[in-house]
Amino acid sequence: MIRFYERDPYAPIQYSYEVENILYKGKSKFQEIIVVQNPHFGRMLILDGVVQITERDEFFYHEMLTHVVLHAHPAPKNVIIIGGGDGGAVREVLKHKTVEKVYFVEIDEEVINVSRKFFPKVACDVDDPRVEIKCMDGAEFLKGRDADIDVVIVDSTDIVGFATSLFTEEFFTSVKNCLSRDGFYVTLSESLHFHKEIVIEVQETMKKIFPLVDIYTAPIATYAGNWWTFSVASKGALPREMRQKFSINTKYYSDEIHQHAFLPNKMYEKLMKRKLEW
Ligand code: SAM
């Protein structure tokens, strides 16, 4: 059996996966796209040598990326998803009946096409009439927008290459400017095991722009470091507080998970003072 060895840009270890079948291999204008079949995880989407989603566990990441902020907002209507070409975040966002419009801003159209074909249960809602697909850089899309967006979700590749435009002070300023009063911004921010300094840097940059910044985590088996962080920001609204009743269908996220996912206050303070010793 052949094996796939992951080339994660910041991981101090290498993950190795059995490959039963290579279902797709191509190169877009932006990146190499591969879909393989693994005996445990099912189909896996790999971009530039890094695992993005697997059929078996994608819901952990997509539910936690989207539902925490969508439940902290009283009635989200307008949502922007940046990246997320596999469609998993779109599927979860559309579970919220209040949502009227989703701008789905993915730089690489090929990722959406490959996902429509090989991950139909993940990309199932990308062609929903509430979704407007924009194939462009998310940072460009946000420039000069009105403040009418309730939730901005960044579901990008790791913080290298063209994804770095989504982690600058300039980008965070554009996000803040387009958010409504109760709005929330959430982004992946790597692992607390392997990338503590990156997590702190993302948080520090967000704190320069947003009045309120917080952090929560989720266990993701296939992302390097596994103990994955999500950085969340707002103009003052509290992400730890649920302003909506939990009533959607999920496999992992729940009202209990919402309360437990946030980093305990003392630990968060220690993290930001660079006093977490591991
Ligand atoms: N959940 C995955 C993870 O964390 O590994 C991310 C999945 S999703 C496929 C990542 C997508 O972000 C890719 O398809 C990539 O093309 C897109 N992306 C990266 N940088 C971007 C940018 N600046 N603007 C829009 N999309 C971007």
Residues 6+ apart with CB under 8 A from 137: 107, 162, 165
**Rounded Cα gap, residues 186 and 81, in angstroms:** 10
- Return per-residue pLDDT of the chain as tens, 278 residues: 899 999 888 889 999 999 999 999 999 999 999 999 999 999 999 999 999 999 999 999 999 999 999 999 999 999 999 999 999 999 999 999 999 999 999 999 999 999 999 999 999 999 999 999 999 999 999 998 999 999 999 999 998 899 999 999 999 999 999 999 999 999 999 999 999 999 999 999 999 999 999 999 999 999 999 999 999 999 999 999 999 999 999 999 999 999 999 999 999 999 999 999 99
Among residues 237, 181, 222, 232, the alpha carbon closest in space to that of 67 is found at 232
Q: What is the DSSP string of 21-46?
A: EEEEEEE-SS-EEEEEEETTTEEEEE
From the CB of 76, is ligand 1 less than 6 Å away?
A: no
Closest C-alpha to ligand 1, atom 10: 156
Retrieve residue 163's tokens: 């994804």
The pair phi, psi for residue 90, each rounded to 5°, is -60, -45
Architecture of the structural domain at 58-272: 3-Layer(aba) Sandwich (3.40)
**Rounded Cα gap, residues 113 and 85, in angstroms:** 9
Query: CA 204 → CA 52, 198, 215, 236, 237, distances in Å?
Result: 26, 10, 12, 17, 19
| Side chain identity, residue 143 | K
Q: Quick check: is 155 catalytic?
A: yes
**Rounded Cα gap, residues 215 and 232, in angstroms:** 6
> pTM (2 decimals)?
0.98
Domain residue spans of the chain: 2-54, 58-272
From the CB of 216, is ligand 1 less than 6 Å away?
A: no
From the CB of 141, is ligand 1 less than 6 Å away?
A: no
Residue 158 gets the label, from left (phi > 0), alpha (psi -120 to 50) or beta, of: beta
Give the pLDDT score at 9: 86
Q: Which of 8, 57, 155, 214 is catalytic?
A: 155
| CATH number for the segment(s) 2-54 | 2.30.140.10
Query: CA 184 → CA 112, 144, 151, 155, 218, distances in Å?
Result: 25, 18, 5, 14, 18
